[in-house]
Amino acid sequence: MSMIELRSVSKDYPGRRAVDAVSLRIETGERVILFGPSGCGKSTILALIAGLLIPDAGEILIDGRLVATAKRNLVEPSARGVGMVFQDLALWPHMSVAENIEFGLRAKRVPKSERDRRIREMASLVGLGDYLTAKPGELSGGQQQRVALARTLAVEPRILLMDEPMSNLDDALGEQLRGEILRLQNELSFTLVYVTHNKEEAAALGTRTIRLRQGRVETDTGVV
């Protein structure tokens, strides 16, 4: 059974079709790269899987369960077992590192003792155990990226979606964080769907690459 399946999924924006009858299957534990130029539909597919957008046609399944169909979300984003790291990271600037990590746990009404444990565990896992009281503005770009990862992983998603999260980092820092993502995926066993137009990122992170063009799957292979 596929963990994620899109069946002839389409999504329209005013004046254009962003995703055009895309069908794909992603198995549990895969690291799949959605690769292609800007505007090819990569980020839209992530948002559809996450439930942030509703398909205009087709079906989306997670673990064999129908979560969305044409014009309808059948399962809310919070109930899909999906976590997402956005390109702009979307950290709360007025909150500390600990409070940012805690945000999703509070939303899920996790008891305080468990929240405190998970905050410490996630901060340690991404190397920010000494920065729990710092605000995002006091951190480097790489450290902010780690906060976004820790916040998303704290709610224990089975699927991690990442939308070009390293586009603003230099090459050395990007290489370091790619290693961190691989380590975390090995330790936590989530399925990774990663959007990029960078061939080096795709080659380093993916076990499989899906190349998109004009809203359609052009190739589906293990290499870029």
Reported as a single tens digit per residue, the pLDDT across 122-166 is 999 889 999 999 999 999 988 998 999 999 999 999 999 999 888
Confidence label for 224 from pLDDT (cuts 50, 70 and 90): low
The alpha-helical segments, DSSP class H, found in 51-170 are 97-107, 112-125, 141-154
Whole-model pTM: value is: 0.91
DSSP bridge pairs for 195: 34, 163
* Beta carbons of 74 and 68 less than 8 angstroms apart: yes
pLDDT tens for 37-76 read 989 999 999 999 999 999 999 999 999 999 999 999 999 9
- Quickly state the pLDDT bin for 173 (edges 50, 70, 90): confident
Determine whether 38 is exposed, middle or buried from the number of CB atoms within 10 Å of its CB (0-12, 13-18, 19+): exposed
pLDDT band for position 168 (cuts 50, 70, 90): confident
On the CB side of 209, CA atoms within 13 Å amount to 19
pLDDT of residue 86: 87
Query: Which of 55, 38, 159, 144 lies closest to 101, judged by CA?
Result: 144
The CA distance from 31 to 27, in Å, is: 9
Q: pLDDT digit string (tens) for 212-221?
A: 999 999 988 8
Portion of the chain with pLDDT greater than 70, in percent: 98
Nearest to 25 by CA among 1, 55, 2: 2
Q: Give CA separation, 25 vs 11, 32, 141, in Å.
A: 18, 10, 33
Contact 157, 81 (CB under 8 A): yes
Per-residue CA distances from 144 to 105, 129, 139 (Å): 19, 13, 6
CA distances from 98 to 49, 116, 139, 141 (A): 28, 9, 13, 17
The string over 148-162, giving b where at least 16 C-beta atoms fall within 10 Å of a residue's C-beta and e elsewhere, is bbbbbbbbbbbbbbb
Asked if 133 contacts 183 with a C-beta cutoff of 8 angstroms, the reply is no
Place of tokens 């950290």: 91
Q: How far apart are the first and last CA of the chain?
A: 26
Cα–Cα distance measured from residue 73 to residue 65, given in angstroms and rounded to the nearest whole number: 12
At residue 1 the predicted structure's pLDDT band, cuts being 50, 70 and 90, is very low
In this predicted model, what pLDDT tens digit does every residue of 64-118 receive, in sequence order? 999 999 999 999 998 999 999 988 888 999 999 999 999 989 988 999 999 999 9
